[in-house]
């Protein structure tokens, strides 16, 4: 926050507190006034008149107590612009402290399962550990892959047997730890619009879909010249590069002519974020086991 906005927030905050306090004293009856009176404020609401009585002493004193509390709070904790408070408290610091406390308490539980292989973790006798992995998946992965791991448009389905980089435990764990960067280059400028349509037609035939045979024949030549380096001569992909298999009719961005053409024309850029700095090794292992179980049980 800039110095100007810091001063602005500080002035407004203190002005409101002091203004309310001044108003409280200005509207308070003198001690010489009786506690109660028959005098009214001079107007009525739906026939109801309000007595012009002083504020109860207990109410007045509690109001003053809240003012004192507020001022003390602003001295100890952040609230006045860039002033951090005498205690140096921050929400991030409290979160880190709570996370460290939780890690200390639950470390023995995670250590128990960390000693097991992923294949052992998905066995029935380790159901409790797998459920822990499921809850951590829900907290960290479900936003993209869905609560059931079935994915969404542009996000892989983790419950089937189709894997871009491989579905064995080591590969899944590597994906979670280091993330993935999937890039499909844009070929629109190279192929032209007619070439995009031809290659799209050929790609559709690879998975058994209907397409214009003449366009597909032209597209095959262009596919072999431009696409086989990643997808292979037979279009079955390459897991080392994360290049998808185009023959199995499993599509990350949809299998319509328009969607495939858009992929070829404009390219795609998929990102799986790395979690090595977000989750401990034990937690990543439990999530790996849960993801592995989705397509192996």
pLDDT score of 104 more than 70: yes
| Domain identity same for 226 and 151 | no
Question: Considering its fold, how many domains does the chain have in total?
Answer: 2
Residue 191 lies in a domain: yes
More confident residue, 46 or 228: 228
**Does a structural domain hold residue 55?**
no
**Cα–Cα distance for residue pair 180/182, rounded to 1 Å:** 6
Q: Are residues 196 and 247 in the same domain?
A: yes
Q: Are 235 and 241 in contact (CB under 8 A)?
A: no
Q: First CA to last CA across the chain, in angstroms? A: 52
Mean pLDDT of the chain: 91
What's the average model confidence in pLDDT over 60-75?
A: 94
> CA-CA distance, 280 to 127, in Å (whole number)?
20
Tell me what percent of the chain is helix, strand and coil, each rounded to the nearest 5. 55, 10, 35
Asked whether residue 106 carries a pLDDT value surpassing 90, the answer given is: no
Q: Tell me if 227 is assigned to a ligand binding site.
A: yes
Residue 5 placed within a domain? no
> Is residue 139 situated within a structural domain?
yes
pLDDT for 32? 46
In this structure, of 49-53, 205-209, 269-273, the range with the lowest mean pLDDT score is: 49-53
Question: CA distances (Å), 283 to each of 71, 78, 139, 148, in order?
Answer: 43, 34, 12, 18
Determine whether the annotation assigns residue 20 to a binding site. Answer: no
Q: Are residues 108 and 173 in the same domain?
A: yes
Whether residues 107 and 163 fall in one domain = yes
Residue 161 lies in a domain: yes
Residue 269, pLDDT > 90, answer: yes
Q: Which of 264, 269, 255, 249 is nearest to 194 (CA)?
A: 264
pTM value is: 0.72
Return the beta strands (E) in the chain as ranges. Answer: 40-45, 48-51, 180-184, 268-272
User: CA-CA distance, 37 to 216, in Å (whole number)?
Assistant: 97
pLDDT-derived band at 151, boundaries 50, 70, 90: very high
- The pLDDT value recorded for residue 224 is 96
DSSP 8-state code for residue 83: B
pLDDT of residue 46: 79
My answer on whether 169 and 195 are in the same domain is no
Q: Are residues 119 and 162 in the same domain?
A: yes
If one counts every other C-beta atom within 10 angstroms of the C-beta of residue 97, the result is 10
pLDDT tens figures, 169-179: 999 999 999 99
43 is in an annotated binding site: no
CATH assignment of the domain containing 248: 1.10.760.10
Assigned domain for 56 exists: no
Structure tokens, 62:
């509690």
> How does pLDDT run across 187-232, given as a tens digit for each residue?
999 999 999 999 999 999 999 999 999 999 999 999 999 999 999 9
Helix axes 57-76, 3-26, angle to 10 degrees: 170
| CA gap 156, 239 in Å, rounded | 14
Chain-centroid distance of CA 139 in Å reads 9
Residue with tokens 């894997």: 163
Whether residue 36 lies inside any domain: the answer is no
Are residues 240 and 281 both part of a single domain? no
User: Do residues 280 and 142 share a domain?
Assistant: yes
Q: Are residues 107 and 246 in the same domain?
A: no
Whole-number percent of the chain with pLDDT over 70: 96
Q: pLDDT: is 69 or 35 the higher one?
A: 69
Q: Residue 123 is part of which domain span? A: 92-179+275-294
Q: Are residues 102 and 247 in the same domain?
A: no
pLDDT at 37 over 70: no
- Residue 89: the pLDDT is 92
CA neighbor of 126 nearest in space, from 112, 138, 106: 112
Distance between CA 261 and CA 202 in Å, rounded? 11
Tell whether residue 141 is among the known ligand binding residues.
yes
In a domain, 285, yes or no: yes
Cβ atoms 178, 274 nearer than 8 A: yes
pLDDT classification of 29: cutoffs 50, 70, 90: low
Domain shared by 117 and 243, yes or no: no
Q: Residue 36: pLDDT band by 50, 70, 90 thresholds? A: low
Claim to verify: residue 124 and residue 261 sit in the same structural domain: no
- What is the Cα–Cα distance from 134 to 128, expressed in whole angstroms? 10
């Amino acid at each position: 926050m800039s110095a100007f906005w810091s001063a602005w927030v500080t002035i407004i905050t203190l002005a409101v507190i002091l203004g309310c306090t001044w108003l409280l004293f200005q509207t308070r009856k003198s001690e010489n006034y009786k506690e109660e009176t028959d005098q009214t404020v001079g107007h009525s609401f739906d026939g109801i008149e309000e007595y012009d009585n002083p504020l109860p002493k207990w109410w007045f004193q509690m109001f003053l107590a809240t003012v004192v509390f507020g001022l003390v709070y602003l001295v100890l904790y952040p609230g006045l612009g860039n002033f951090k408070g005498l205690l140096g408290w921050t929400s991030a610091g409290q979160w880190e402290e709570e996370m460290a406390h939780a890690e200390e308490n639950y470390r023995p539980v995670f250590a128990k399962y960390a000693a097991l292989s992923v294949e052992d973790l998905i066995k029935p006798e380790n159901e409790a550990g797998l459920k822990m992995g499921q809850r951590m998946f829900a907290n960290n992965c479900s936003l993209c892959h869905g609560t059931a791991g079935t994915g969404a448009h542009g996000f892989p389905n983790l419950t089937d047997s189709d894997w871009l980089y491989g579905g064995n435990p080591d590969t899944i764990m590597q994906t979670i730890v280091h993330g993935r960067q999937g890039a499909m280059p844009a070929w629109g400028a190279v192929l032209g619009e007619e070439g995009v349509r031809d290659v799209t037609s050929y790609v559709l035939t690879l998975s058994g879909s209907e397409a214009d045979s003449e366009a597909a024949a032209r597209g095959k030549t262009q596919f072999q010249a431009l696409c086989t380096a990643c997808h292979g001569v037979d279009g079955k992909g390459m897991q080392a590069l994360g290049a998808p298999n185009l023959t199995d009719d499993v599509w990350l961005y949809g299998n319509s002519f328009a969607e495939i053409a858009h992929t070829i024309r404009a390219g795609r850029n998929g990102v799986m974020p790395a979690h090595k700095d977000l989750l401990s090794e034990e937690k990543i292992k439990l999530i790996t086991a849960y993801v592995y179980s989705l397509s192996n049980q």
